[in-house]
Amino acid sequence: RTERVSVNNQEKKTPHGVQSPSQRPKSGNRFERRDSVTRKNDAGKHSSVAPAPSAPLPGDAPRLNKSVAQSGFCSRRKADELIFAGRVSVNGICEKNPSKRLNPGDRLEVDGTILDWEGRGTCYLMLNKPIHTVCTVSDPEGRRTVVDLLPQPYRQYRLFPVGRLDYFSEGLLLLTNDGDLANHLMHPRYHLPKMYEVIVRGSVSEEAIQTMQNGMTLRDGTVLQPVSVQPLPSLPVMSAATTLLMTLYQGINRQIRRMCEELDLVILGLVRISQGPLLLGP
C-alpha cells in the first residue's frame, strides 16, 4: 500500500505513510558528507555533479611560522625563534605572533629579505654528499657547500640540508624546503635511526664494541646512548682495516668520530647509508 507525502509543498507517494516536510527526521550524523549531488540524466542514469567551490574559511589561511618554514628559509622551530625576536614582518609591520594568519598577496620578510611563501612548492632531494663539502647553505671560508652541488633549476627552491655530515664524511643527505619534515627527521623525540659504514684502521677489539653498544660517557661529560655496532667482512685489499656498521639514534655532533677517538680507533672512511626511512642508492 502506498500513501502520499508532501515534498516541497507537493504530494508524493511513499510506502511508509504520509509525512509533512516538518515531520521528516533529520540526519543524526553531523559528519555526513555532501560532496556531490546525484541527478538523473536524459538516459535515466544517475550522475554526480560537483558542488560549487566555497570560499576558504579564515581558519584555513596559513600561519606565519608555517609560511616562513615552507618558504624554505628555515625550519618551523627556527621560524618561531625569528618571529619572537622581532625579525619577521608582514606587509612592512613587525609581527611577533607565530599563529598570525596570512592572506594571499601578503608580503613576508625576514630581516628585509622577501620570502616567496605562496608560489614555490615543496621540494625533496637526496644527495650523496662527497668529502670536502660543508653542509651549509653558504660558507664564510669559501669552501664548497652542498647547495653548490645542485643543478641551477633546484636553487630557486631555497633548499637547506636536514642534519649534518662533517667535512670529511660522505653519504646520504636530504635537502628540502619542508620545515615540518626536517623537524621530524632531526628532533630527538622521534628516535629515527641513522646508519653508517665506518672503516677504521686495524682490528677492533670486542671490548671496544661492547663499550659502544652499552653507551658511553665522553671525557667532556657528554652521555651517549647505546649504539648498534656490527663488524662487516672486509675486502682482501682492506685486510689491514675493519668495517663497522653502526646505527645511531642520537643527534650528537660528530658522535662517531668522538667515540672512536676516545677508543683509540683511527677512522679511514665514514659513509652514511640511511637516515630514517631513506636509503642511499647503489
Which residues are tagged catalytic? Answer: 166
CA pair distance 236, 84, nearest whole angstrom:
57
Phi then psi for residue 127, to 5 deg, are -120, 135
CA pair distance 190, 106, nearest whole angstrom:
34
Q: Which residues of 209-225 are buried (b: 16+ CB within 10 A; e: fewer)?
A: bebbeeebeeeeeeebe
CA pair distance 139, 145, nearest whole angstrom:
7
Of 141, 64, 50, 58, nearest to 95 by C-alpha is: 64
C-alpha cell at 237: 685489499
Angle between helices 76-84 and 179-186 (to 10 degrees): 110
Residues 182, 176 contacting (CB under 8 angstroms): yes
